[in-house]
Structure 1
């Protein structure tokens, strides 16, 4: 954070009450630790609060109730050591939605939506109650704005239209998975809904490097869970190159390692090399250049990665029209490859599977 914020002018920190994920040996007891680290750092460095934009999240699903929105926000404020949060987000929708499955479910399942899990106890928190609870926090000065994460065009529009009908503050942002190999938000209605001409909601992209796949480091030597040799897999787990080589994230992020995704990544790497840049640089500069994107969230596991990312965002001209077109050609031949699976067969029961259970 010293390098990013104090030396290079990065001003947005995105976190969540649930971070770190996976929580490791500490389990749920470690949740909130990331907020504590941020708060401790700000106090130690005497960082003026106005110099940093803090976005954090309430855990989604059935946890999102008016009572929990207030309580969880106050708990986050204590851990962060601040008296307000700039953007308070739902980590995932408060209702059943196939988008909560990172959009990989094959369909909207009305039976699932009508299940006791979602409809018991009066059902999920209504859009009206959600908007009013967030407005209460704004009026108390505890948050400046609020947003959504991992939601779709329906959820975004329902929130903005409900808030406007109630005369309260609508969401200012939506955060979603977005990268060269996951462009669904440009094509599934989210970009249209978020447009300044429509609901005027900013888009925060995460996983712009697809869990590290768009650095190219997992192409020649696969992620630990994809290694055919037990010895090689154990070696990768003991000396991880990043999240793909960990037990928890390695399973959850398998969507970026589909056969189709790896094929697309190889093609994008050719474009990068032909234009004198790394795959990482191409991926980040492309993401920054998309009209949908308000800000790109990037995570790093070491100082070298951080400095590289900052360099790619600073003092760079836009990618040429030809490079953008070459990227589109690959995309049109292999569209949204993270939804592809070569495991489908007569014995395959993994509809909507992403590596972890999602209601």
Structure 2
């Protein structure tokens, strides 16, 4: 395993991060602990979780993942594990998360971190991330910014503008938590270039904590990070934590071989609208065929592509079986040839970002 410095911090993290969002729903506690033990044995020191997990989010499973991870973490040398956590922001329908938070204000962020620390059985979280922006932005498969969503009436020309907690106030609360030793560094998730730049600018202007990382979707059929965001990350020294490198299994080839194959796509119908776009099956089939034509498994090609991109600091992988986990970690050792990379680019130009 290789390691890299995260942003402007002294944190050295493995290039692969173990995601945990299946724990407590698709994976039992015993299975989860087996995965965690194996990942650490392979040199992975970076574990990512969130108060909202497991997903899909449900009232009956909310917080189970953190409890499962906490039961494992209490028996580990804490200083050897880099732990990522996330605070959920306002989201319609999730009333079970702290009563349905209306904002990322001081009270909500504090309630989120206190709950997570208790469930994780630790005194601190290394990288604490805002799971999604509070303000109006396209997220989770949406791709168009709509000014009408800025207003209570739903129209751009009339109605009162919605209130949201300023980025400065969010940073001030996070600064308090750093001072108290409850978190070490801060990160963003599902964020847009404007948001990253505002967090960076305001932090510099008011001497507040700098953003360490951004956790966003990135894979062969969603390369939106390359349009503007990669330059922001490079110039501001912010690390990308790439999630969904296998595009909910679409890039493993299993749904090409059997559209009814077991997985989140078939198990949780209606979930992950990002991958319901018209060109997803066509593009997925093309990438699957490219891998097989070059005697590579589709999983190996998709993961290696993300693992070794210059702007990806660490890639968050997840699995529901040990077979999957072992294959995903082993893919790190494989480097794609220039020929395969060129063929990937040709397909990208033909099927550009079908799952934005």
- When normalised by structure 1's length, the TM-score is 0.81
Counterpart pick for 2:213 among 168, 173, 176: 173
**Are the counterparts in 2 of residues 17 and 32 from structure 1 also a CA contact under 8 Å?**
yes
Counterpart pick for 2:264 among 243, 248, 263: 243
**Are the counterparts in 1 of residues 189 and 216 from structure 2 also a CA contact under 8 Å?**
yes
**Are the counterparts in 2 of residues 58 and 72 from structure 1 also a CA contact under 8 Å?**
yes
Q: Which residue of 2 aligns with 1:352?
A: none
Deviation at 1:2, TM superposition (A): 4.2
Distance in 1 (alpha carbons) for counterparts of 2:45 and 2:150: 39
Q: Secondary structure of the residue that 2:331 maps to in structure 1?
A: helix
* 1:173-209 per-position Cα deviation (integer Å, ceiling 9, x unaligned): 101111000001111x1111111xx211100111100
Deviation at 1:252, TM superposition (A): 2.2
Q: Secondary structure of the residue that 1:172 maps to in structure 2?
A: strand
Distance in 2 (alpha carbons) for counterparts of 1:257 and 1:94: 25
Counterpart pick for 1:86 among 120, 123, 126: 126
- Unaligned 5+ segments in structure 1 are 224-239, 340-359
* 1:52-89 per-position Cα deviation (integer Å, ceiling 9, x unaligned): 11111100233311111112111100100000001111
**Are the counterparts in 2 of residues 87 and 146 from structure 1 also a CA contact under 8 Å?**
yes
**Are the counterparts in 2 of residues 186 and 292 from structure 1 also a CA contact under 8 Å?**
no
Kindly indicate which of the two structures has a greater share of residues assigned to helix.
1
Q: Which residue of 2 aligns with 1:105?
A: 143
Q: Which residue of 2 aligns with 1:33?
A: 64
C-alpha change, 1:116 and 1:140, in structure 2 (3 Å) is farther
**Are the counterparts in 2 of residues 213 and 257 from structure 1 also a CA contact under 8 Å?**
no
Deviation at 1:114, TM superposition (A): 2.1
Deviation at 1:3, TM superposition (A): 4.1
Q: Which residue of 1 aligns with 2:13?
A: none
**Are the counterparts in 1 of residues 178 and 185 from structure 2 also a CA contact under 8 Å?**
yes
Deviation at 1:105, TM superposition (A): 3.4
Output the aligned Cα RMSD. 2.0
Q: Which residue of 1 aligns with 2:224?
A: 184
**Are the counterparts in 1 of residues 85 and 127 from structure 2 also a CA contact under 8 Å?**
yes
Deviation at 1:273, TM superposition (A): 1.5
Q: Which residue of 2 aligns with 1:256?
A: 275
Kindly indicate which of the two structures has a greater share of residues assigned to strand.
2
Deviation at 1:309, TM superposition (A): 0.8
- When normalised by structure 2's length, the TM-score is 0.82
Distance in 1 (alpha carbons) for counterparts of 2:161 and 2:279: 42
Counterpart pick for 1:16 among 46, 50, 66: 50
Distance in 1 (alpha carbons) for counterparts of 2:143 and 2:290: 31
Counterpart pick for 2:73 among 34, 42, 59: 42
**In the alignment, is residue 300 of structure 1 matched against residue 319 of structure 2?**
yes
- Unaligned 5+ segments in structure 2 are 1-34, 91-101
**Are the counterparts in 2 of residues 174 and 204 from structure 1 also a CA contact under 8 Å?**
yes
